[in-house]
C-alpha cells in the first residue's frame, strides 16, 4: 500500500459488521495511513461488533443517530477533538427502508414508514453535510462521500421506496456539493455501487437472483465491498481533487449495458 491517506482524518458512518461496505472502507483507510472515528446508530452498537474494528484500526467509536442533528454535532465535536483538528473525509454509508423491511409493496406504501426511511437514507446526508458546514469542520480539499444504487436512475421494482431515497440522496450531493465546492473547496460525491451481499443488501426481496443477474450483465463482474473500499480511498485521496458533484458508477460496467452474452444464453436455451 502507498499511504495515500497519510495524515488525513475522517469520520466513517455505517459499519455494522464485517460484511458492511463501511467496514471495508475503514480497514482500507487504516492501511492507507488515515485516522478516523467510527459511528453508527446507538441501537446498531448494541451488539458490540464495531469494537473489533475500532481495536483493529485504533479508532474511537462515537454513537450518533444520523437523523439527529444534536447527536451529529456532538459527533463532529468529539471527532475533531479526538483526531486533533478539522477533517479531511467523511463516509456516509447508511440506508434503511421500513417498507422494504416489512415487505410493503411500492403500490401500498405506508407513508409514516416512507418518511422514516427517507430521513435515515437521504435527509441524514443533508444533516451530516449541514453539520459539517456550520461547524466549519472540513479542511480545504476534503472529500465527502455517500453510497447509492442505480435504482435512482432505472427501475428495479423490489428496491421499492429506496429508489426514491437514493434519487434524493444523489440530488443532495449535487446541491450541497456546489456550496461546499464554491465556499470551502470540499468535494461531495456519491458512489453507485454494484449489489453487494451485506445486511442492508440482503434485505431486498429476491436479492440472490438479482446479484447473479448483475454479475452476468457486468463485463467486469460485480464490484465487491473491498473494490468499493478501494474506490472510496481514491476519492478521499489528493489524486481526485477536482471530482465533485458526481454520481460515480462503480459496478463493473453494468450501468452502460443493454444485454450480455451470458444473459442472452439463458433466453436462447443454450
Ligand X SMILES: NC(=O)c1ccc[n+]([C@@H]2O[C@H](COP(=O)([O-])OP(=O)(O)OC[C@H]3O[C@@H](n4cnc5c(N)ncnc54)[C@H](O)[C@@H]3O)[C@@H](O)[C@H]2O)c1
- Residues making contact with ligand X (CB under 6 A): 13-14, 16, 20-22, 40-41, 44, 65-67, 93-96, 120, 147-149, 193, 195-196, 198-201
90: closest CA among 135, 40, 146, 49?
146
State which residue, 205 or 241, has the beta carbon closest to ligand X. 205
- Least CB distance from residue 87 to ligand X, whole Å? 17
CB under 8 Å, gap of 24 or more: what pairs does 58-63 form? 58/30, 59/12, 59/26, 59/30, 59/35, 61/37, 62/37, 62/38, 63/39
Query: Grid coordinates in use for 202?
Result: 440482503
Q: In what order do the strands lie in the sheet with 9-13?
A: 35-39, 9-13, 87-92, 138-148, 187-193, 247-250
CA distance 143 to 104: 36
- Least CB distance from residue 132 to ligand X, whole Å? 15
**Residue with nearest beta carbon to ligand X:** 201
- Least CB distance from residue 169 to ligand X, whole Å? 8
State which residue, 66 or 217, has the beta carbon closest to ligand X. 66
State which residue, 35 or 148, has the beta carbon closest to ligand X. 148
- Least CB distance from residue 83 to ligand X, whole Å? 20
CA distance 194 to 40: 23
CA distance 231 to 268: 36
Pairing of strands 9-13, 87-92: parallel
64: closest CA among 128, 115, 133?
128
- Least CB distance from residue 193 to ligand X, whole Å? 4
- Least CB distance from residue 120 to ligand X, whole Å? 5
State which residue, 139 or 255, has the beta carbon closest to ligand X. 255
The alpha helices in 86-148, defined as continuous H runs, are: 98-101, 111-118, 124-134
State which residue, 11 or 16, has the beta carbon closest to ligand X. 16
State which residue, 66 or 172, has the beta carbon closest to ligand X. 66
State which residue, 7 or 256, has the beta carbon closest to ligand X. 256
Question: CA angle, corner 160, sides to 162 and 96, nearest 5?
Answer: 35
- Least CB distance from residue 237 to ligand X, whole Å? 20
Amino acid at each position: 500500500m502507498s499511504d495515500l491517506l497519510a495524515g488525513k482524518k475522517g469520520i466513517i458512518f455505517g459499519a455494522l459488521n464485517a460484511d458492511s461496505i463501511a467496514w471495508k472502507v475503514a480497514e482500507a483507510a487504516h492501511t492507507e495511513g488515515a485516522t478516523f472515528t467510527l459511528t453508527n446508530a446507538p441501537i446498531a452498537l448494541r451488539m458490540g461488533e464495531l469494537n473489533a474494528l475500532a481495536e483493529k484500526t485504533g479508532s474511537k467509536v462515537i454513537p450518533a443517530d444520523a437523523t439527529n442533528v444534536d447527536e451529529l454535532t456532538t459527533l463532529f465535536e468529539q471527532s475533531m477533538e479526538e483526531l486533533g483538528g478539522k477533517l479531511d473525509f467523511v463516509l456516509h454509508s447508511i440506508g434503511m427502508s421500513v417498507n422494504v423491511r416489512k415487505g410493503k409493496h411500492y403500490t401500498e406504501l405506508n407513508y409514516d414508514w416512507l418518511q422514516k426511511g427517507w430521513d435515515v437514507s437521504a435527509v441524514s446526508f443533508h444533516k451530516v453535510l449541514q453539520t459539517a458546514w456550520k461547524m466549519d469542520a472540513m479542511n480545504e480539499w476534503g472529500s465527502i462521500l455517500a453510497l447509492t444504487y442505480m435504482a435512482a436512475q432505472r427501475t428495479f421494482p423490489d428496491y421499492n421506496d429506496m429508489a426514491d431515497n437514493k434519487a434524493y440522496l444523489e440530488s443532495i450531493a449535487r446541491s450541497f456539493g456546489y456550496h461546499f465546492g464554491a465556499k470551502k473547496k470540499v468535494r461531495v460525491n456519491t458512489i453507485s455501487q454494484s449489489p453487494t451481499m451485506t445486511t442492508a443488501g440482503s434485505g431486498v426481496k429476491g436479492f440472490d437472483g438479482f446479484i447473479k443477474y448483475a454479475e452476468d450483465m457486468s463485463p467486469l463482474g460485480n464490484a465487491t465491498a473491498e473494490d468499493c473500499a478501494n474506490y472510496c480511498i481514491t476519492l478521499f485521496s489528493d489524486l481526485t481533487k477536482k471530482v465533485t458533484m458526481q454520481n460515480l458508477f462503480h459496478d463493473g460496467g453494468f450501468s452502460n449495458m443493454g444485454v450480455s452474452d451470458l444473459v442472452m444464453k439463458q433466453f436462447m436455451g443454450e
